[in-house]
Structure 1
Amino acid sequence: MLATRISVARRLPSLFAARGYSTGRSEGSVAQSQGFNKKEKAHEDQYVRQHEQQLIQKMKADIAKKQAELEDLQKQHSELEKKKD
Structure 2
Amino acid sequence: MLALRRTAVVAASSRRAAVGAVRMYTVPGRAEGSVAQSKGFSKKEKAHEDQYIHQHEQDQIRKLRDEVAKKQAELEKLEKNAEKKQ
- For the aligned pair, the TM-score class normalised by the smaller chain equals 0.5 to 0.7
Between the aligned partners of 2:53 and 2:83, the Cα distance in structure 1 is 44
Structure 1 position 30 matched with structure 2 position 35: yes
% identical equivalent positions? 63
**SS across alignment from 1:30:** helix
- Aligned AA (1:64): A
| Root mean square deviation of aligned Cα | 1.4
- Aligned AA (1:78): E
Between the aligned partners of 1:59 and 1:53, the Cα distance in structure 2 is 10
**SS across alignment from 2:70:** helix
5+ unaligned residues in a row in structure 2: which ranges?
Answer: 1-27
Q: Of the two, which has the highest radius of gyration?
A: 1
Between the aligned partners of 2:73 and 2:35, the Cα distance in structure 1 is 55
Structure 1 position 48 matched with structure 2 position 47: no
Between the aligned partners of 1:24 and 1:75, the Cα distance in structure 2 is 75
5+ unaligned residues in a row in structure 1: which ranges?
Answer: 1-22
Aligned length: 59
**SS across alignment from 1:71:** helix
**SS across alignment from 2:36:** coil
Q: Which residues of 2 match residues 1-85 of structure 1 at below 5 A? A: 24-81=29-86
